Chains A and B, each alone.
Chain A
C-alpha cells in the first residue's frame, strides 16, 4: 500500500515539460509542496492504521503472550483454535449490528418525519433530542445499566408499583442483547433524525406542490415525492451505521462485558478479551485477521452500492 501512495514528484518538476494549468491547481512546480503538506497525515495513517492491519497477520502466526517475553511460530494453529469462536461471535456481531442499525433508523426517520411538521418549539425539540447522541458511549451505557438495574432500576421500580413481576434485563441471556440494542438505539437515533430532517427540509417544493395540485394525498406525496429523495441518504447512513456497529466496543463492554454467558459477545469484545484478559496476542491477532476478511467484504459491498446509488 505504501508503495502505491508514494508520488513521484521528481518527474513533474522537469522544467522542459509544458506546465498545464488546470482549475484547482497552483502549477506543477508546487506539486512537491502540495504533497509535503499531506505527508504528515499520510505518514501517521500508514504507521498507526495501515501498518497495524498488515502486521496483525504476522502476529497471528505466533504463539505470543502479553505477559511472557518471546514468541513461538505456530503457523496457522491460532486460526484453527479461534475458528469455532469466530463463527459464533460473527453471528452475535451480525445480530447486534443489524438490530442496532435498523432500530435507530426506524425511530430516527419517524422522529424526523414528525418533526418536519409545523409545530411550536420544533427547533428547540430538535436541539434537545440531540442530547442522547452527544453523551459518550460510556455514559450512555451506565445510564441504561442504571435504568435496567435489577434491584434499584427505575423500570423495575415502576413494575413493582404496578404489582408486576421484576425483570433482570441485563442478567438474562435472552434479554441482554435487547437491552444493549435499546441503549444503542437511544444513542444513535438523533443522528439519523438530523440527516433525514435535513433532507426533508430541502425537498424540491415545486414537485410537492405540483403533486398536491394534481390531487395527490399527503400519503401519496410522501410515497412518491419525498421517499425517493430519502432513499439515497438513508441507505448511506444505514451502511455506515452497520459498519460502525460491526466494530463497536464500548457499550457492550460496559453494559454486559459480553455476557451473560456469551450472549452479547461481539468480535470487538472477544478480541479485547483474548488480548487483555487472556493475554493471548496470537489468538487475538488471528481473530483480527479473520474479522478483517469479513470487513473487506462488507466494505466492498458498501462501495459497490455507493457507486450504484451515485449513478
Chain B
C-alpha cells in the first residue's frame, strides 16, 4: 500500500468517521463488557459442563469445574427413559403442529389484514394487539373446563389450539409486515389476468413470502416447545411435553439428579439453538416487529 494509507493517529480516530458511530472501548469499558459477557456465558458453560460430568464428580467435595472425564452417561440415561422419550415425541408433535397451524391461520389472516379493507378490520387488529398482553394463567380455569366439556382435555388438539392462539398475534404482525411490502400492482395484474382470489393467494403471494412463513413457523415452534403452563394443565400425563416431563423426572424426595437434569436441559435446548442459527438474520426484525406492534 502507498505511504498515504497510514492509519490516522489514535486519539483522532475516536472523533471522526466510524469512531463516532461505533467508538473504541476504553479499559473500563473492556472490563465492564468482560464482566457482563461472563454473566451471560458462564451459566451456559456450567449447564453444558455439568451435563458431561460423572455423577460421582458432581456430588464430591473436590468437584471439578471442568468435566475431567467427560461422560455421555447422562445423555444415555435420558434416551433409556421411556417416559422422557415419549415426552420428547409429544414435544415434537405439539410444536410442529403449532407451527403448521400457526402458519396456515396467521398467513391467511395477515394477507386479509394487509390487502383487504372491510368493516371490523381494525377491531381484529386491536383484538390481536390486546390479546398479546393477556397472560396464559388468566385463561386457565375456563380453558380447562371448556376443553373438558368438549372432550378435548388431554389431547394434542387442545394443546395445539391453546399454543396457536398465543402465537397468532406475533405471527400475524410479522407476516403482515412482509405482505405489506408486496406491491399491489402484482396482485392487480394477476386479477386482470383472470386469476381467482384463491389462485392469487396460493400461486402469487405464497411463493413470495416463503422466508417469512418459515420464520413464523419457527417462532411458533419455539414458543410451543418452551411453554410450561398449558402443557402442564391441558396435556395430561400422556401428552405432556418435555418441559413438563423434566419437572418431574429428575426430582425424587426433594433431591434432584442434577447431571441428568442438565443433560435433559441440553437436549431440550438444542432444537431452539439450531433454529436460532438458521434464523439469526430474521431475529432482530422479528423481535422488533413484536416489540413495536405488540
Residues in A lying within 8 Å of B, measured CB to CB = 1, 4-9, 12, 22-26, 30-38, 40-42, 44-45, 47-53, 55-56, 59, 66, 107, 110-111, 114-119, 125, 127-132, 134-139, 142-147, 149, 152, 154, 157, 186, 189-191, 194-195, 198, 201, 203, 205, 208-209, 212, 218, 221, 233, 236-237, 240, 243-244, 246-250, 253-254, 267-268, 271-272, 275-276, 281, 284-285, 288, 291-292, 295, 299, 302
Contacts and interface: CB of A to CB of B under 8 A. Distances in A.
Contacts of A117: 22-25, 29
A115 B33 contact: yes
23 contacts: A5-B123, A5-B127, A34-B115, A38-B109, A38-B113, A41-B124, A44-B165, A45-B168, A48-B161, A50-B127, A55-B142, A55-B146, A114-B29, A128-B41, A131-B44, A131-B273, A134-B269, A154-B46, A186-B39, A201-B22, A248-B135, A250-B243, A254-B228
A115 B30 CA distance: 10
Contacts of B73: none
Contacts of A4: 120, 123
Contacts of A42: 109, 124, 127
B149 to A, nearest CB: 11
Max chain B Cβ within 10 angstroms of own Cβ: one of A36, A38, A221? A38
Nearest to A54: B142
A24 B265 CA distance: 47
Contact of B187 (A26, A66, A250): A26
Contact of A247 (B105, B135, B226): B135
A271 B137 CA distance: 7
A146 B49 CA distance: 12
A246 B118 contact: no
A255 B258 CA distance: 14
Nearest to B40: A129
Max chain B Cβ within 10 angstroms of own Cβ: one of A127, A146, A248? A146
B72 interface: no
A56 B268 contact: no
A154 B63 CA distance: 9
B21 A203 contact: yes
B180 to A, nearest CB: 8
A243 B129 CA distance: 13
B contact patch SS: helix
Contacts of A288: 137-138, 140-141
Contact of B22 (A56, A118, A194): A118
Interface stretch (B3-11, B76-84, B206-214, B286-294): B286-294
Task: Report, nearest first, the 9 A-B pairs whose CB atoms are least far apart.
Answer: A247-B135, A34-B116, A52-B142, A136-B226, A37-B112, A7-B120, A268-B137, A41-B109, A38-B112
